[in-house]
Every structure is written in structure tokens, then in C-alpha cells.
Structure 1
Amino acid sequence: MDVELQDLADKAIRYARDSGAQYCDARAEQQERKSVLIENKEIEHIRTNNDRGIGIRLVKKGVWGFCSITDPESFEQIKEAIDAAMKNAGHGTKNKNNLYPNVVNKTKIDFPVLKKPDLEELIKIGMECNKIITNTSKIIKSIVSPWYTNNSKYFANSEGSEITQIFTDVIIDMVATAHESGLTQSINITEGGRGGLEQIINSHYSAQEIALKASQLLDAKHTKEEKATVVMNPDFVSLLTHEILGHPSEADRVLGKEMAWAGGAWWKGKINQKIGSENLNVFDDPTIKESLGWYYFDDEGVETKKTTLVENGVLKNHMQNRETAVTFDSAPTGNMRATNYRFMPLIRMACTCIEKGDWKVDEIVKEVKNGYYISNMKIPSIDMKRYNWSISCQYAQKIENGEITDLLRDVIVLGTAPDFFESIDACGDDFTVRPITNCGKGDPMQSMIMGNGGPTIRGTATVKSVN
């Protein structure tokens, strides 16, 4: 962390308190990002972006104020921004604005990086994956984009916390597009995590898989619409978990305070009520190492922990910040996060997952007389309360008498949250965490990276093909 930037953050807190703020925190952040775009074995561009700045939250007369400064050159800039934030907060209606008590923490954490990323190695891995996809039969376009960020975040508040977290994220996005006889099919995948190049070193296996599947889908069938047994693989489950379990578990959405982009929660007021089958167990856990949602302290300085959201089908808790924890008579869960210093933090998933069970995947499939094996996330469409949902998959396969048979394309899965959760009767032992790099929330919208995951699960939903 830039010592000068950290010093400015500390001075900002002292100035805000001296100016009458009841509470203040500051986030000083630096990020270096390098990315490569490769299309059909050709490098389209190489980009480097550096960003640094400070975001400052404060409370005056129970009202939040916020300001941010990009690449501050002097403390005078920060003072002017704080003065404006204080003035704006003073125009609000006076509130009590209770914050749940928090422990003062002073620590510095360096996240492990086994193989430090560099541009040369990034290009090498990207070109290898692109070549694999391009050389596959019927592939007309291969897009591969590897990238990494080096991040340093310093959090301090008027209560005395001083927390530095330094981490690296390495990601690779890949798309394989096949075409023949007027039909086009695409498969995409994202790999990576928090750490070094070790997070994407085996991405060529994924490149082979998506290229082959895109090619095979040209000969795949459509399916009729029917309500049937569905077996969902962990990649598809990760998006389903994100959309209909994670978002409605964010307490600001439950309260209706943050309805932009992803709406509210159908289970408002249902804490300690049954919302699914006894096989459904859900948690959020920022401590899962190497996940994109791995961190030790959130953007309020709250230490993270695993939070049980649903236990044996009973709704137990929501993700809480220091304000909502008071409302729910709970405790903060360490889920307050912002995309970067430019934004106020919001309650965000870290790594929300369905807990694994003790079923073997082949046993889950073997019991299905007539159903579908649903693979890999694609596009979600969810209503404002996260009640009615439909999620398309990248591909599906028919299950007949316990055997996986025909490959199916253009398949979408539909259901309602309570009916589907109640139908879950098996969870596999193949728990997997997948990277999510583009979750949107807020107004102005903030895009966030995180993890989501789960095992293979079995339930009942409507399946159909769309043209």
C-alpha cells in the first residue's frame, strides 16, 4: 500500500471527526490490472490499467455522507470533498443510525500467491487455450481473455481499526463458437480465483471441453416442454444459488432498501420458517481459500466467518451489515463490500453455496427414470422478489432409465423458488466453487467478483427448448 495514500486516509478520518462527524471510515485502494484479448490465434489488444484513490463514509446527525477522490494530490482535495459530504448529510432527515458494535482490528494480511502473474505468461496460457479451441472441428471463432489484478486495500475508521489486505486475482474467460449449415452454437466458461497463475494453469482442459461441446451441439436435439426431474451440475447450481438463494439473502434487499437491478426477497419475514426440503443447506463463506470471494475483513472492518443461511430447509439468517444487524437483532456477517473506493459499500455475497451431501453423482442419475441432466450456467431471468425464475443452460442431456442419453441444445429451466427448493431430494458429494466476475447490484450499479458453488443436486422443474 502506498504510504502516502494510507496517510491521507488516516488524516481524512481525523478531519471528519474534528468537523463533527459521529462516525467515519476510509478505504484507500490501489489496483493494477493487465489483460489480453485473443481471437482466432491473434492478439487483438493488451491493456494495462492502474487505479488509486480513497472512498470516505461518514455519519452526521444520523445521516450517511460519502465522497471519493481518485489519485488525490493533496489533503486540500480531501478536505473539500469531506466538507461537501458533511453538507449533503446535513440536509437529510435526522436518524438514530445505530451501528452494531464492532471489535477494533489492526492487522495486515498478504494473501498467498504461488506463481506471480506476468504478462508474458498470461499471453502464453491464453494463446495455448485459443489454439486448442480454434483447432477443433467446426469452430469458427475462439475468444480467450486472460487477466489479472494486483490489489491493495487499506481500511481505517474512527473507532480505531486499521486493516490492510493485499491480494491478487487471476482469471481467464473463454468462448468457443461453432457453425455449420446455418446453425451457430457457443459455449463459454470462466476459470480462476484469488491467488497467482496457479489459478488458471490447467485452463487448457476447459478449453478442450467447451470447444468439443460447442461442436457437438450443432447435432444436438431440442426437447419438448415438460415438468420433470432435473439433475443440475455444480456449474449450473452456482448460478442458481447466486440468483435465487444469494441475492434474496442480502438483508438490504429483504428490507426493501436496495431494490435496483436484482430486486427484493420473496422470503421476507420468514426467518425460522421452512422454505425448502430438509436436504437444502445454504451458507455464505468469505473464508473459502482461493475463491474470488475470499477475504478476511469486509469494507466496514468486520471480520468474516461462515454464515448459515438455510439449515435443513429452514431459513436461519440473512447477510447483515452493521446497520441491518441491529434491525434483525443479529450480528454483522462480514458481507459489506464495494466494487472499489468510488462507491459506498453494499451487502454482497462473498461465496454463497449449497452444502454438499453424501450422494455419488452416478447414484443421483441412476434413480431417474425420466429426466434431464442440466449443465453449466448461461443466462438468468428472475423476478423482483426472486420467486419466479428461469435460467438457460449451456447444454443438457436426456436421462432415461438411469442413463444419460441424447445431447440437447437451447434448453431453459423454469420454476418457482419454494416449489423447487421443496423438491430437492439429493445433493452430491462433488462440492465445487465457481468464479463469478460480473454480479451487478446498486444504483449506480456496482459490478462485483465473488464465488458461488454447490454440488450436483436433484429436484423438479419445467424444462423446454427455446429457438
Structure 2
Amino acid sequence: MDKKLQDLADKIIEYAGQSGVQYCDARAEQQVKKSTLIENNEIEHVRNSEDKGIGVRLIKNGAWSFCSISNPKSFDEIKNILDNTIRNSDYTNSNKKNKINLHNNPINKKQIDFPVLKKPEIEELTSIGLECNKIIMDSPLIIKSVTNPYYVTSSKYFVNSEGSEILQKFTDVIVEMIATAHESGLTQSVNITEGGRGGLELIQNKVQQSAKEIANKASELIKAKPVKEEKTTLVMNPDFVSLLTHEILGHPSEADRVLGKEMAWAGGAWWKGKIGEKIGSENLNVFDDPTIKESLGWYYFDDEGVETKRTNLVEKGILKNHMQNRETSEIFNTTPTGNMRATNYRYMPLIRMACTCIGNGNQNVSEIIKDVKNGYYISNMKVPSIDMKRYNWSISCQYAQKIENGELTDLQRDVIVMGTAPEFFNSIDACGNDFTVRPITNCGKGDPMQSMIMGNGGPTIRGTATVKSVN
């Protein structure tokens, strides 16, 4: 972290306190990203970018105000922006009826360096990307191979008027890959994202196997059959479960959605007011956990300076909690959960998932499949389509297999899975003893839109929903 940037954040807090604000926090952030795009064994581009700046939130006259500045050179430059923000608070908030109350939060003074066992370098990362690209291209029927390896190093310094001073430094290493096959007028693509919070150790000797798997599967899908529409028993693999968890369990658990504060653009939650009620079978346990190491949702303090912890959202089918910030937790008469995050210093933090998962069970995956007389094995996330309250949902998978008398048979392509949240949750009758966390790199929320990285995961699960063909 640039020490000058950190000092400027400290001065902002001191100046805001002298200006009569009730509360102020500042996030000084510095980020370096290096990436390579490779297509069909050729490097399309190598990009380096660096960004740093400070975002400031403050409360005056009972309402939030926010400003940000990129690459500030002096405090005088910041002071002008800060004065305007405070002045605007005087004008716009004078008629506000509902005042803001923040849950008490301990003063934290910490510096945390996340472990990196093997420091990423763009040359080695590019070499891995080229190797994976060639693996994909060497598979039958492949006409296009895309690999995008990149890493991001970040430093985040949080300071507030209550006395907290928190510095977190971390590195994310990610490889995104797409394999596209084509024959006889039919095109099929399979993609995967690998990586997490840490160094090259997270992908070395792992992504090559993933490249081979998606290439083979894209080729096999050319010969696969389209699925017939039916409501039936489905066994879902952990990769598909991670997106399902994200869309119909994670998002409606964000307290700002529950309160209806996002209804204008991103939606709400169908289970508003249902804390303590049964919303699924006793096999359904859901939690959000920012402490899962190596996940893209791993952090120790959120963007309000709240220390993170595991939050149980659903226990044996009973809705127990939502994800809360310091403001919403006062409304719900509970405690903050450490889920307040912003894409970067340019944005106000929002309540966001960290690593939301369905808890695993005690059954072997083979046993879960063996008990199915007729159904489908659903594999790997693709595209979601969910209604405003996360009640009706539709998520396509990358491929599926028919299950007949407990055995996997024909490969199926172009499959969409559909259902309603309460009916599907109540149908879950098995959770595997496996458990996988998958990286999510492009979750959007807010206005202006913020894209966020996080983890989502779970085990193999079995339930009932409708499958139909994309076409």
C-alpha cells in the first residue's frame, strides 16, 4: 500500500470530524492487474493496469453521502471534493425523516497479509495459459479455444471516525477457459473458471486437467441428444449447485433486498418476513462464510470494518438469518455479518455474498444416483434467469446425463432447469458428502452496477424440477 495514500485517508477522517459529521469512513485502495488473452494458440493481448484511490462515506443530518477520488496528489485536492460532499449533505438531507442508526462495532487495528506460496508472474501465467489453450485445440472437433489467465494484487486500507485502522493485502489468481466444438452445423461450448485467493499454487498442475475435460465434453456434446421436457428427479453436481445457491439462496439473503431497497433495479426476496419459518426440507442447510481460505470470497474484515464470521442462513430447512450490514442489522435487531463490500473505492459498499454454500450431507454421490429410477444428472453452471423476488428460477447447465435405473446413460445438450424456490427447496432429499467451492468472477448488483468476485459452493444434491431444451 502506498503510504501516502494511507496517510491521506487518515487526514480525511480527521478533517471530517472537524466538519461536524456524525460518522465517516475512508477506503484507500491500490490494485495491480496483469492478464493475457489467448485464442487458438495465439496471444491476442497482454494487459497491465494499475488503479488507486480513496472512497469516503459519511453521515450528516441523518443520511449517507459518498465521494471518491482517483490517484489523489494532495490533501487540498481531496478537501475540495470533501467540502462539496458535506455541503450537499446539508442541502439534500434536511427533510429526511428516517435517521440512520449503526450497530456498535469494536475498534479494530489490524494488518493482514494473505498467504501467497508462489508469487504469480505474467510470464509463467501466460505459459500456463498457452499450454491449456493447446490442450483444448488438440481435441477433436474444436474450432475455438480461449484462455484468459490473470492475477490481481490488492491492498485495502480501511479507517473510520470510531478508531478502526485495518490493512488487508491479497492476491487473486484466475484462469478462464472456453472450448467450442463444431460439426454439421451444430456448435457446442463448455467453459470453466479456476483459481482463488492466493498464488500460482492454486492453479499449477490443476488447470491443465480442466482444459482437457472441457475440450472433451464440448466435442462429445456434438453427438449428444437434446433433452425432452419433463418434471423429474434431478441430481445436480457441485458446480451447478454453486450457481443455483448464488441465485436463489444467496441474493435473496441480502438484507437490502429483503427490505425492498433494490426492487427498482435488482430485485427483492420472496421470503421477506419469514425468519423462523420452514422454507425447505430438513436436508437444506445454507451458510455464508468469508473465512473459507483460498476462496475468492475470503477476507477478514468487510468494507465497514466488521470482522467476518460464518453466518448460518438456513438450518434444516428453517430460514434463520439474512446477510446484514451495520445499518440493516439495527432494523432487524441482530448483528452485522461482515458482508458489506464494494467493487473498489469508486463505489459505496453494498451487502454482498462472500462464499454462500449449501452444506454437505453424508451420502456418497454414487448412492444418490443409484436410488434414481428415472431422472437426470445436471452438470456445471451456465446462464441464470431469475424473477425479481428470486421465486421463479431458470438456470441452464452445460450438459446433463440421463439416469435410468440408477445408472448414467445418454449425454444431453442444451438443457435448462426450471422451478420455483419453495417447491424445489422442499424437494431436496439428499446431499452428498462431497463439497466444492467454485469461483464466481462477475456477480452484478446495484445502481450504478458493481461487479464483484466471490465464492459459491456446495455438494451434490438431489431434488425435483423441470428440464427442457433451450431450442
Shared topology, TM-score over 0.5?
yes
Alignment partner for residue 187 of structure 2, among 184, 195, 212? 184
What one-letter code is carried by the residue in structure 2 that aligns with 1:213?
K
TM-superposed CA distance for 1:96, in Å, is: 2.2
How many angstroms does 1:449 deviate by? 0.0
Of the three residues 155, 161, 165, the one matched with 1:158 is 161
**1:167 aligned to 152, 166, 170, which one?**
170
CA offsets, 1:53-99, max 9 Å, x none?
00000000111010000000111111111111112222123342100
Equivalent residue, structure 2, for 1:200: 203
Q: Percent identity?
A: 76
Question: For residues 226-375 of structure 1, what are the structure 2 equivalents within 5 Å?
Answer: 226-259=230-263, 261-375=265-379
Find out whether 1:35 has 2:35 as its counterpart.
yes
* Partner of residue 4, structure 1: 4
For the structure 1 residues 290 and 443, does the alpha-carbon distance in structure 2 shift closer, same or farther, using more than 3 Å as the test?
Answer: same
CA contact (8 A) 1:415 1:462 kept: yes
The equivalent of 1:127 in structure 2 is 130
User: 1:260: Cα distance to partner?
Assistant: 5.2
1:368 touches 1:401 (CA, 8 Å); kept in 2? yes
Aligned equivalent of 1:84:
84
Residue 381 of structure 1 is matched in structure 2 by: 385
In the alignment, structure 2 segments of 5+ residues that lack a partner are none
Tell me, in whole angstroms, the C-alpha distance in 2 between the residues paired with 1:195 and 1:261: 34
Q: CA deviation at 1:259?
A: 2.8
Could you list the per-position Cα deviations for residues 179-222 of structure 1 after superposition, in whole angstroms to 9, with x for gaps in the alignment? 00111000000000000011111100100000000000000001
Question: Do the aligned residues in 2 keep the contact of 1:230 with 1:374 (CA within 8 Å)?
Answer: yes
Residues paired across the two proteins, number? 467
> How big is each residue's C-alpha offset from its partner over 1:23-46, in whole Å with a ceiling of 9 and x where there is no partner?
000000000000000000000000
TM superposition shift of 1:289: 0.2
Q: Which moved more, 1:194-203 or 1:309-318?
A: 194-203
Contact 1:260 1:441 in 2 (8 A): no
**SS of alignment partner, residue 226 of structure 2:** coil
TM-aligned CA deviation for residue 262 of structure 1: 3.3
The Cα shift of 1:261 comes to 4.7
1:356-435 aligned within 5 A: 356-435=360-439
Name the counterpart of 1:110. Answer: 113
Q: Secondary structure at the match of 1:219?
A: coil
Q: Write the distance in 1 (CA, Å) between the matches of 2:60 and 2:336.
A: 22
Unaligned runs of 5+ in 1: none
Cα distance in 2 for residues equivalent to 1:271 and 1:364 = 30
Aligned equivalent of 2:101: 98
Report deviation, 1:255. Answer: 0.1
C-alpha change, 1:114 and 1:260, in structure 2 (3 Å) is farther
CA distance, structure 1, for counterparts of residue 377 and residue 63 of structure 2 = 51
Aligned 8 A contact 1:260 1:442 in 2: no
Give the distance between the partners of 1:141 and 1:261, measured in 2 at CA: 35
| TM-align CA RMSD | 0.7
